[in-house]
Structures are given as structure tokens and as C-alpha cells.
Amino acid sequence: MTPEDFVAQVRNAVVEQGSIGDKDLLESASAETVSDPYWKRLLTLYHSLNSYDRNTFLEILRQIRIDTLVQLFCILDGVCTLENSPEDFELKTMGDGQKINGNLQHLFLGEDE
């Protein structure tokens, strides 16, 4: 797997499919049917919004997914460091052992533009 393939697959799984899942879950669930207090509050909020504000809310969730991946790729690439972690990360594929990190954040942001 190339770094480009990895970034594309992560983007699809986390951003695209995750965003579809968010919308499906929020649209189909009801605060009355869940027991978790967090989900009750979230669903109550979501269902109180008009259509425009619901779309804005979903866009915000999507952007949070993107921002989180940018930060994760930054860490994996060694651009950002974890506190008290002197180790560098090396992400390799099992098949050919090719290193795929080092440019993931750039690839992701380039694809996101």
C-alpha cells in the first residue's frame, strides 16, 4: 500500500463513511430510545434544530473528523510530538515493509483542498 492509498482509504473510512454514519444515526435515533445521557442530550439538541442548522451541525462534525486526522497524521509523520515520547514513529505495511508515514499530513491536506 502506498502512502497515497493509505491516506485515501483512511479518508474514506473516517471522514466520508463516518460522516454518513453520523447523519444516519442522528436522523434515525430518538432521545426517547437511548439510555446514555450524552446521546440523549445530543439527540435532543440535533432534533431541535431546523434543517439548515442540522446541516451546519453535520458539517462541524465532519470538520472535527478532518482536524483530528490532520493531528494524528502530524504525530505519525513526526512533525508533531507526543509529550514525553522520545520515540519516532515508523508506519510500515506488513506485505512489503514499505514505510508509509513521513508525508501523510501533507497528502491528506492536499487531498482535502
Three-state secondary structure call for residue 81: coil
Q: What is the dihedral of CA 99, 100, 101, 105, to 10 degrees?
A: 170
> Cα 65 to chain center, whole Å?
3
> How confident is the model over 64-108, as pLDDT tens digits?
999 999 999 999 998 888 888 777 888 998 888 889 999 999 999
| pLDDT interval class at 113 (50, 70, 90) | low
Neighbours of 107 (CB within 10 A): 20
Q: What is the pTM of this model?
A: 0.87
Distance from C-alpha of 86 to C-alpha of 35, rounded to nearest angstrom: 42
